[in-house]
Amino acid sequence: MNLVVGATGFLGSDICRRFLQQNQSVRALVRSTSDPAKVAALQSLGAEIVTGDLKDPASVAAACQGVRAVISTASVTISRQAGDSIQAVDLEGQLNLLNAAKAAGVSHFVYVSYSGNIDIACPLSTAKRTVEQRVQESGLTYTILRPTNFMEVWLSPVVGFDAANANVVVYGSGQNKVSWISLGDVAQFAVESLTNPAARNAVLELGGPEAISPLEVVKMLESATRRTFTVQHVPEEALQAQLVAATDPIQQSFAALMLATAQGDAIDMTATLQTFPLRLTSVEDFVRR
Ligand SMILES: NC(=O)c1ccc[n+]([C@@H]2O[C@H](COP(=O)([O-])OP(=O)(O)OC[C@H]3O[C@@H](n4cnc5c(N)ncnc54)[C@H](OP(=O)(O)O)[C@@H]3O)[C@@H](O)[C@H]2O)c1
């Protein structure tokens, strides 16, 4: 049995789907407040549903019973309820889960963090790096996945990149390269981590097949759609000022992530692909889709 925490999220739901397609059993941790349609979708795929919350150690302890592997993608960055915070969920909640996994004798812990190139201090980075360290010290077999920006999120209207309306917001100059990765590929790495020896006690930096700048993505879209895009830049200085001015931990973390995106995040996947021979989705594939 594999326990997926964050199962109603973009990445977690895709991980559940991939396990179930391979006839691997999945227990999906959802919350009493989770979107019922997302819970029903997990159920119809064949997942066993367990209700819990990372802030509630007893619920995660119960969820870990009889589990072989835990895969945690949960985060409050986008999906938040009353009482959720980076400190309570991304930090303490993930540590509750790690402790519960250890106590229950789980054999493999897969933790989804983010790219090691994101080194701008912010509460989310503190939480991610602290949990990574505790996972590594836990004595459990672990895999830490450090993906860069998901193309489905960072090249979407959620962050102002509205390709359908040929109107995009670009952070910084738009000239620094990012190895945008498809979340489906991150999900595939998570699933294969349980069986691929190269993922045992490993930290994997994950990017897509090529590093390309936001302005190159815009050019690609312009030629695919035969439209001229309006590009609005948010200068790095403005992002820096936003980071300094933010008082809320989530706003600080968003400002840091936008700034990190502006500064670029190129990840060379050559060595990783030798042990994980996946065909990674390119931005061009994504644009065509
Ligand atoms: N987006 C990117 O570009 C990117 C890049 C690198 C790494 N990542 C990392 O990838 C991971 C997955 O991202 P995503 O886009 O799939 O996130 P998402 O769609 O926002 O999903 C977050 C999940 O966490 C759950 N959750 C939140 N608080 C919880 C709590 N207190 N207890 C239990 N579950 C809780 C949510 O459940 P509810 O539905 O009940 O709220 C949801 O299932 C995150 O850790 C993120 O930091 C993302």
Q: pLDDT tens across 105-153, in order?
A: 999 999 999 999 998 999 999 999 999 999 999 999 999 999 999 999 9
* Domain contains 219: no
Is 174 among the domain residues?
Answer: no
Q: Assess whether the C-beta atom of 117 lies below 6 angstroms from ligand 1.
A: no
Out of 11, 18, 34, 92, mutate this one to test ligand 1's pocket (max ligand atoms within 8 Å of CB): namely 11
**Cβ atoms of 10 and 150 closer than 8 Å:** yes
Ligand 1 site-directed mutation target among 75, 130, 265, most atoms within 8 Å of CB:
75
Closest CA to 63 of 131, 7, 120: 7
Q: What's the distance, CA 6 to chain centroid?
A: 10
With respect to residue 53, please indicate whether it lies within any of the assigned structural domains.
yes
15 lines ligand 1 (CB under 6 A): no
Residue percentage of the chain with pLDDT more than 90:
96
Q: Whole-angstrom Cα distance, residue 118 to residue 226?
A: 34
Tell me the CA–centroid distance for residue 5 and ligand 1, in Å: 9
Structure tokens at 20: 């179930």
Q: Is pLDDT above 90 for 288?
A: no
Q: Work out the end-to-end distance of the chain between its first and last CA atoms, rounded to an integer number of angstroms.
A: 33
User: What's the confidence (pLDDT) of residue 129?
Assistant: 98
Run of H or E residues at 84: none
Distance CA 285, CA 289 (A): 6
Q: pTM score > 0.75 for this model?
A: yes
Q: Is residue 162 part of a domain?
A: no
- What proportions of the chain, in percent to the nearest 5, are helix, strand and coil? 45, 20, 35
* Distance (Å) from CA 222 to ligand 1 centroid: 31
Q: What is the pLDDT of residues 43-91, one digit of tens each?
A: 999 999 999 999 999 999 999 999 999 999 999 988 888 899 999 999 9
- The whole-angstrom separation of Cα 192 and Cα 244 is 40
Q: Which amino acid is at 17?
A: R
| pLDDT value for 244 | 93
Calpha distance 76→85 (Å, rounded): 6
Residue nearest atom 38 of ligand 1, based on CA coordinates: 34
Mean pLDDT throughout 169-194?
98
Alpha-helical regions (H) of the chain: 10-21, 36-45, 57-63, 92-103, 123-137, 151-154, 183-193, 214-225, 236-245, 249-263, 270-275, 283-288
189 lines ligand 1 (CB under 6 A): no
Q: Is 185 in the pocket of ligand 1 (CB under 6 A)?
A: no
User: What 3-state class would DSSP assign to 183?
Assistant: helix
Q: In ligand 1, which atom is closest to the CA atom of 83?
A: 31
- Would the CB of 85 count as within 6 Å of ligand 1? no
Count each helix (H run) and each strand (E run) in the chain, helices first: 12, 10
Q: Chain-wide mean pLDDT for the chain?
A: 97
The answer to whether residue 170 is domain-embedded is no
Ligand 1 atom closest to Cα of residue 5: 34
Residue 171: which H helix or E strand, with range? Answer: strand 167-171
Domain span at 18: 2-150+183-207+266-281
Q: Is 80 helix (H, G, I), strand (E, B) or coil?
A: coil
Closest residue (by CA) to atom 5 of ligand 1?
Answer: 149
Is the pLDDT reported for residue 26 higher than 90?
yes
Instruction: Check if 53 has its Cβ closer than 6 Å to any atom of ligand 1.
Output: yes
**Which residue among 17, 50, 60, 73 is best mutated to probe the pocket of ligand 1, counting the most ligand atoms within 8 A of its Cβ?**
73
Contact indicator for 259, 236 with CB cutoff of 8 Å? yes
Ligand 1 lined by 184 (C-beta under 6 Å): no
* 29-42 residue pLDDT tens: 999 999 999 999 99
Cβ-based neighbour number of residue 265 at 10 Å: 23
CA distance 22 to 45: 12
**CA trace torsion 122, 125, 126, 132 (10° rounding):** 180
- Asked whether residue 200 is domain-assigned, the answer is yes
Instruction: Kindly calculate the radius of gyration of the chain based on its CA atoms and give it in whole angstroms.
Output: 19
Query: Is any atom of ligand 1 closer than 6 Å to the C-beta of 79?
Result: yes
- Across 198-226, average pLDDT: 97
Is residue 213 domain-resident?
A: no
Alpha-carbon gap, residue 277 to 222, rounded angstroms? 31
Instruction: Specify the number of domains making up the chain.
Output: 1
Judge whether 66 lies within some domain. yes
Q: Is the pLDDT of residue 289 over 90?
A: no
Q: Output the domain CATH number for residue 96.
A: 3.40.50.720
